[in-house]
Amino acid sequence: MGLASWRYLWRTSPLHRVSEPAGPQASGPPLPADQVDEQVQGVDDGAGPLFRRCYSVDIHGSTMEPEQLIDLIAENPNRAAPVEVAVFRKTRGDAGPLRVGDEYLVRMPGPWDGPVRAVERTPTSFRLATLRGHLEAGQIEFRAARQDGALRFEIESWARSGDRLSELLYDRARIVKEMQAHMWIHFCERVGRLAGGRVRGGVRLHTSRLEQAGG
């Protein structure tokens, strides 16, 4: 895949952005101790500011329960991933649904491949931690819930750049930031179709930023 593969990502539904200073939960939930080893790249291993981002959509007209939706995505993340630019390939773990301890390589155009490990799985969510070699250092969570009559799907991440070079590419060169944003926007849109409903009101992106002392 080349960078030309990203062109289609600009065909998106409305995006509503909100940015504000980071609050006390910017660093995210603690990593489970039994899933932490020398391969895990946590926020303390990264460089630059810490970002908390949450993409969310409300899916109307779906009869699917949150547990069913997360089961479908966990069984094969490529059902929702925009596979033209991002493909989940399991590199560790048994074939079949995502389980704690499974590892994936998220293949993307250019030098953006991202190794991750599943560190938590609940009936309505799963959480991934970045591994050595990822452009980011942190975690990302996928979750679903019923809210105000709609099926809400969210992707929330807590991450810094993986190193100083990644910080330069990501925080100071907007192209990588926009590539990532549009990838998750399309993921949310595809989840709406997977759920058999319609995304109403577009995709919401809430971002908060925390400067790290010494980072």
pLDDT single digits (tens) 65-74: 999 999 999 9
Q: What is the C-alpha to C-alpha distance for residues 209 and 178, in angstroms, rounded to an integer? A: 16
Sketch the domain layout of the chain as residue ranges: 39-210
Distance CA 193, CA 198 (A): 7
Residue 112 clears pLDDT 90, i.e. is over it: no
Task: Report, in this order, helix, strand and coil percent for the chain, each rounded to 5.
Answer: 25, 40, 35
**d(C-alpha 14, C-alpha 3), whole Å:** 23
The architecture CATH gives domain 39-210:
2-Layer Sandwich (3.30)
Residue 19 confidence (pLDDT): 75
Q: What is the mean pLDDT of the chain?
A: 85
**Taking CA 75 as the corner, what is the angle to CA 69 and CA 80, rounded to the nearest 5 degrees?**
60
3-state secondary structure of 154: strand
**44-48, 61-65, 69-73, 163-167: which has the minimum mean pLDDT?**
163-167
Tokens 């997360």 locate to 70
Answer for the pair 69, 191: CB distance below 8 angstroms, yes or no.
yes
Short-list 76, 77, 64, 63, CA closest to 155 = 77
Whether the pLDDT of residue 4 is over 90: the answer is: no
Q: How confident is the model at residue 140 (pLDDT cuts 50, 70, 90)?
A: very high
pTM value surpassing 0.85: yes
Sequence-distant (6+) residues with CB within 8 A of 183 are: 9, 82, 85, 86, 108
